[in-house]
Chains A and B, each alone.
Chain A
Amino acid sequence: GENVEQHPSTLSVQEGDSAVIKCTYSDSASNYFPWYKQELGKRPQLIIDIRSNVGEKKDQRIAVTLNKTAKHFSLHITETQPEDSAVYFCAAWMDSSYKLIFGSGTRLLVRP
């Protein structure tokens, strides 16, 4: 069935280090992959997204890579800062069912 797996579930890094979160999806027809950041007590907010016609997208310290053959995509955060601490969700748009399927989330802690 439709599924998005996300790893790791928790990630702790030292300020200034890089953080990588990985997701795999099941539907080979998926063509849109957003990433959301949810700070404690707040709503999820889109931080970056990628469509299937590109392999990589970057926005300042955040980048997303997509490997359609392997059906996985990753979020890369460089030079992490304490304000990057949050829960991050990946998602994949399933054209077959017209739904956005979310991963289970990664709790990122950036230690000062």
Chain B
Amino acid sequence: DVKVTQSSRYLVKRTGEKVFLECVQDMDHENMFWYRQDPGLGLRLIYFSYDVKMKEKGDIPEGYSVSREKKERFSLILESASTNQTSMYLCASSGEGAGETQYFGPGTRLLVL
């Protein structure tokens, strides 16, 4: 059974703070993804990674960066949090190859004041 976990369910931060969101998967998946979910907009891809130390920009990378130092862990970093980054953040992982099922973490609801 695939397990994807995220470090926090809820976070409250202040504008300008540096924010770290962590995601860990236990299925030895090559691919990992960060999405943000906003009402009426579905899930939008921020960044993804196909291998350790590799990263690719998604559709909305501005204001974010990522780190993948180990295969099982993918971190999303908000360098200087802003109020428009208040959102639900979802991590996902999938096996190697195109069109593999993505398994999601429980999500982190971030509020930036």
Known: A93-B98, A93-B99, A99-B58. A44 touches B104 (CB 8 A): yes
Please state if B42 and A95 are interface contacts (CB–CB under 8 Å): no
What residues of A have a CB within 8 angstroms of the CB of B8 in the complex? none
Interface size of B by CB at 8 A reads: 24
Cα of A58 to Cα of B26 in the assembled complex, Å: 30
Q: How far is the CB of B22 from chain A (nearest CB, A)?
A: 16
Contacts A42-B106, A43-B107, A46-B101 given: A89-B40 contact, CB under 8 Å?
A: no
Contact (Cβ within 8 A) B99 A32: yes
Q: Once the chains are docked, how many angstroms separate the CA of A101 from the CA of B33? A: 12
Interface size on A, residues (CB 8 A): 24
Q: What residues of B have a CB within 8 angstroms of the CB of A103 in the complex?
A: 42
Pick the residue among B35, B40, B103, B106 that contacts A104 (CB under 8 A). Answer: B40
Check B43 for interface membership: any CB of A closer than 8 A.
Answer: yes
- B86-113 at interface with A (beta carbon < 8 Å): 90, 98-99, 101-107
Known contacts A46-B101, A104-B40; is A99 also within 8 Å of B106 by CB?
A: no
Distance to closest chain A CB from B104 (angstroms) = 4
Would you list 12 pairs from A and B whose C-beta atoms are within 8 A, ordered by A residue?
A31-B98, A31-B99, A34-B101, A36-B104, A42-B106, A43-B105, A44-B104, A46-B102, A99-B45, A102-B35, A102-B42, A103-B42
Given contact pairs A99-B48, A100-B33, A102-B35, enumerate 16 new A-B contacts (beta carbons under 8 Å).
A6-B42, A31-B98, A31-B99, A34-B102, A43-B104, A44-B90, A44-B104, A45-B104, A89-B43, A93-B99, A95-B98, A98-B56, A98-B98, A102-B43, A102-B44, A105-B40
